[in-house]
A and B are shown apart, each in its own frame.
Chain A
Amino acid sequence: MPRKLATAITFISVVIGWVFFRANSFSIATDILAGMAGQHGVGIPEALANHMGGAKSTLSSIGIQFYAGGGTQFISTRAWVSIAASIAFGLPNTQQWHARWRPALDPVRHPVSSGRGWSLHPIWAIGLGVASTLCILALSRPTEFLYFQF
């Protein structure tokens, strides 16, 4: 199977799994999945559509609806997801960053070249300090996805 297709199937399967972890009941989960598949229609914030000029009427003609409020959240959510996705899909993973230090028994495929990989250089220490700080500051956030809700 092509690597990109395998990645896409795995990712979509995980996203579908998240819905069942987060929903309060099985029926709510299936309802959310139906919504994600477009069964409840497709909508975007009215405020965003108002900035689209002529495209708004085109979107409306193909059945896209416009709703009040939520414009900032709509954009910020997609911005964060895009940033996270570009990191997850575009950058090397932790095994590849640490390949020089043999983090696993199996050989690491596509390792980061030794000059750019993880090292004891001060810049990595500071970066790790910043990342550790963010992790500690985020500890109090709710972790909805740890348990089934029903």
Chain B
Amino acid sequence: MGISHKRRFALLWLGTLFSLLVCTAILTRLIDPYGLYESPRWHGINAVKPRPDRSLGDIKLANALRMRPDALILGNSRADIGFDPKILIRHGIAQRPYNLAIPGSGLETNVRDLETILHYGIRPSIVVVGLEFFDYLQTQVQASKSSPVPPANDWEERHFRLEFQSLFTLSALGDSLATLRAQHARNPATIREDGFNPLLDYITLARNEGYFALFRQRGWENDRRLKSAKEPTNWSKTPDFQALERLLDLAKEFDIRLEFSIYPYHVQILGLLQRNELLSPFSQWKQTLSRRISEAAAGGIRSRLWDFSQINHQTTEKIPARGDRQAETRWYWEAGHFKAALGNLMLEQMFEATNLPPSETIGQLIAPPLTRIVDMDKALSAILRDRPDIAEDLEQISRSSTNP
């Protein structure tokens, strides 16, 4: 076999390799599935961006840096799908709000992202922060997941890596093809330009499986998580509380208005807290937060704390029956994740933009001033007596969560 055959083989092999790499880069750059390059958005081709499975935190941060928001929403998946930034525009509170909440993240990550935003000269005047009680508890899940949060000054390196991965990876190629598919899908999993996740894919999920299945599945997961949870010996020493201190320092230094929000847990979660003897620690946690944020406010930091985990019309929303795939909920996807309909009411109350009379408001301002937190035990027990459907749901979850 002559040398020309070997050379032809090598040229054809390398030519195919480089041609395909170049084609991949051109395709991913043009489709721009993560919205990183401000590529034109063509209707029917790439106008709708799919929600990526990987590097979502870095993608949202990169887009926030490009957008230069004047208001930010921070938190975990509850804020990611519950707080629609558009409501802030509608009420004239901000012009370029961005939802920088990252699913699965804690306050440490949120503060790190805010530090990066500030480092690049962006000055959001308002920051809405969702506070997660689960994150302050010590759990096995938390212990096994604990990984150091990257420092805020490594963004250049992370951004370079993100850009490379957005051009030359199978994931980027797959997401580019997913972008093409998403244009014609009925309820695609998407991420909006302002970082909000409308969770359209859950509409299909709920239609196929029913809301009962969503509530029950999450109920099991939450119960298992709470069963292994322990109250910390000192709330103020927890990593999330340290992150809160850093956030208050940043607010003071850059004159940021902080609106803290305790998420509106559905009564299913409140009931699981009660069954796992965590309702009293829940109140103590709120009390600690109320005290610290009141002190911060007295020290000139523009900060307020809202408690939305109350027992009210919304948080006691009826869970559709097993097998019912027609019923739709109004306020909750499942017990931990509220819909934007409820998130909008919360944001309107936080920014005094609500039209509801005080008797129908859904949250309570608990700092400032320092507010004495009343234990929910009695009120919750009363509602469970009035609502046998919820009591039975909790009983079934507790009975079967170890072996669903």
Distance in angstroms from A22 CB to nearest chain B CB is: 12
B13–A129 CB distance below 8 A? yes
Q: Which residues of B contact A120 (CB under 8 A)?
A: 1, 5-6, 8-9
Query: Considering the chains assembled together, what is the distance between the CA atoms of A24 and B143 in angstroms?
Result: 10
Mask, A1-44, CB within 8 Å of B = 1, is: 00000000000000000000000110010000000000011010
- The tally of residues in A whose CB lies under 8 Å from a CB in B reads 32
Mask, B7-25, CB within 8 Å of A = 1, is: 0111011111101110010
Query: Considering the chains assembled together, what is the distance between the CA atoms of A65 and B23 in angstroms?
Result: 46
User: Interface majority SS on B: helix, strand, loop or mixed?
Assistant: helix
B362, CB-defined interface residue at 8 Å: no
A125–B21 CB distance below 8 A? no
Identify which of B164-172, B243-251, B335-343 touches chain A: B164-172
Total A-B residue pairs with C-beta atoms closer than 8 Å? 91
Query: Considering the chains assembled together, what is the distance between the CA atoms of A96 and B404 in angstroms?
Result: 47
Which residues 162-193 of B sit at the A interface, judged by CB distance below 8 A?
164-165, 168-171, 173
A130, CB-defined interface residue at 8 Å: yes
B170–A141 CB distance below 8 A? yes
B9–A71 CB distance below 8 A? no
Mask, B23-43, CB within 8 Å of A = 1, is: 010000000000000000000
Distance in angstroms from B365 CB to nearest chain A CB is: 36
Residue of A nearest to B202 (CB): A69
Beyond A43-B404, A68-B209, A126-B13, 15 extra complex contacts between A and B, CB < 8 Å = A25-B144, A40-B403, A41-B404, A47-B209, A50-B208, A66-B213, A68-B217, A69-B205, A69-B213, A122-B8, A129-B14, A132-B16, A132-B17, A133-B21, A137-B24
Which A residues have a C-beta under 8 Å from some C-beta of B?
24-25, 28, 40-41, 43, 46-47, 50, 65-69, 71, 120, 122, 124-126, 128-130, 132-134, 136-141
